[in-house]
Amino acid sequence: MKIIVYGPGCARCHETERVVRHVVAQLGLAADIEKVSDYQAMAAAGVLATPAVSIDGVLKISGRIPKSEEVRGWLSPEARG
Amino acid sequence: MSAPISEQMTAGTGRSVTSLPSARRRLPRYLAACAAGLVAWVALYASLQPLARWLTFEALRLRHETHVASAVEFFVFESPKVLMLLVLIVFGVGIIRSFFTPERTRRALAGRSESVGNILAALLGIVTPFCSCSAVPLFIGFVTAGVPLGVTFSFLVSAPMVNEVAVVLLFGLFGWKVAGLYAGTGVLIAILSGWTIGRLRLEGYVEDWVFETRAVETGIDEERLEWADRLEAGWRAMKDIVGKVWPYVLIGIAVGAAIHGYVPENFMASIMGKSAWWSVPVAVLIGIPMYSNAAGIIPVVQALLGKGAALGTVLAFMMAVIGLSLPETIILRRVLKPTLIAVFVGVVGTGILLVGYVFNVLF
Segment B77-114, tens digit of pLDDT: 989 998 999 999 999 999 999 999 899 999 999 988 88
Does position B247 have pLDDT exceeding 60, yes or no?
A: yes
Q: Is residue B267 scored above 90 in pLDDT?
A: no
Residue B239 has pLDDT above 80, yes or no: yes
For residue B284, the surrounding DSSP H or E stretch is helix B279-287
Residue of A14, A47, A48, A64 best to disrupt the B interface, most CBs of B under 10 A: A48
pLDDT at B34 over 90: yes
The predicted complex's ipTM stands at: 0.86
Phi and psi dihedrals of A55, rounded to 5? -120, 120
With 70 as the cut, is the pLDDT of residue B266 above it? no
Q: What's the rounded Cα separation, in Å, for the pair B229 and B97?
A: 12
Whole-number pLDDT of residue B140:
92
- Would you place residue B363 in the very low, low, confident or very high pLDDT band (cuts 50, 70, 90)? confident
**If you average pLDDT over residues B167-180, what whole number do you get?**
88
Of the pLDDT bands very low, low, confident and very high (cuts 50, 70, 90), residue B152 is: very high
Which pLDDT band holds residue B324 (cuts at 50, 70, 90)? Answer: confident
- A31 is known as an active-site residue: no
- Per the prediction, chain B carries an average pLDDT of 85
CA dist B174 and B188 (Å) reads 21
Residue B136: closest C-alpha in chain A: A39
pLDDT at B294: 78
pLDDT for the residue B303: 79
pTM reported for the whole predicted model = 0.84
Residue in chain B lying closest to A65 (CA): B236
Q: What's the pLDDT at B127?
A: 92
- The span from the CA of B234 to the CA of B89, in Å, is 10
Q: In percent, how much of chain B has pLDDT > 70?
A: 89
Inter-chain residue contact A61 with B18, CB threshold 8 Å: yes
Amino acid B131: pLDDT: 79
Across the A:B interface, residue pairs with CB atoms under 8 Å apart total 93
Query: What's the rounded mean pLDDT across residues B128-145?
Result: 88
For the question of residue A7 being annotated catalytic, the response is no
Strand order in the sheet with A52-55: A32-36, A2-6, A52-55, A58-62
CA B73/CA B50 separation, integer angstroms: 10
Mean pLDDT on B294-305: 80
Q: Which of A1, A2, A8, A10 is catalytic?
A: A10
For CA atoms B351, B353, B357, B359, give the dihedral sign: positive
pLDDT level of residue B132 (50, 70, 90 thresholds): confident
Q: Which residues, other chains included, contact B138 with Cβ-Cβ below 8 Å and sequence gap of 6+?
A: A48, A49, B102, B130, B156
Contact present, A7 and A50 (Cβ < 8 Å): yes
pLDDT of residue B293: 74
| pLDDT score of B53 more than 80 | yes
